[in-house]
Amino acid sequence: MRRPHPRIRKATKWSSTAIALMLLVAWGASEYRWFNLETTNWTTHLGRGGMVVVYHDSISFRSPPGWYSGKYDQMTIERTWWIQAWDTSGGSLPLPYNRVRFPLWIPMCIMLPLSGVAWRFDILARRRAQLPLCQNCSYNLTGLRPGSNCPECNTPPPKAEEISSS
């Protein structure tokens, strides 16, 4: 059985951990402040455990493009618990909905266990790499001369960097 390359395993481990941490930080920050990213037609809002994306027509009166942030006494925001889509434009836009609300707990419930699984796989793979098993067919190479090919499938032994790096 072929196993994922160590580089892919590590990339999965660190990227899923980074995304999970970013989501945690975003969630934590969204409890204290709101953050708005204004672009020509879009407002992307982070606050109270969720994201709200709003599509505007270009003529609506809004803040100019840029980053905005503030405390909650300046703006009241409902807590986001679930995915919601609704329209506040009164049907003036060529879209069925101009607002989508998305809670941060949904991607967190995916990314936190995923990063846990990625760490678990990496630990198991490193433990397995310490045993003298063939990387291709898992034949036990104990007692063979170091550096010799697998007697079962003739796969060369793994390079040292693939075993020791973390």
Using CB under 5 A, list all residues that contact Zn ion.
134, 136-137, 139, 150, 152-153, 155
Nearer to Zn ion, 17 or 136 (CB): 136
In whole angstroms, the minimum distance from the beta carbon of 141 to Zn ion comes to 8
Minimum Å gap between C-beta 122 and Zn ion is 22
CA distance 96 to 4: 43
Task: State which residue, 17 or 155, has the beta carbon closest to Zn ion.
Answer: 155
**Cβ closest to Zn ion, residue 14 vs residue 139:** 139
> Which residues, 6 or more positions from 129, have their beta carbon under 8 angstroms from its beta carbon?
158, 162, 163
Q: Which of the 8 DSSP states describes residue 146? A: T
Q: How far is the CB of 22 from Zn ion (least distance, A)?
A: 40
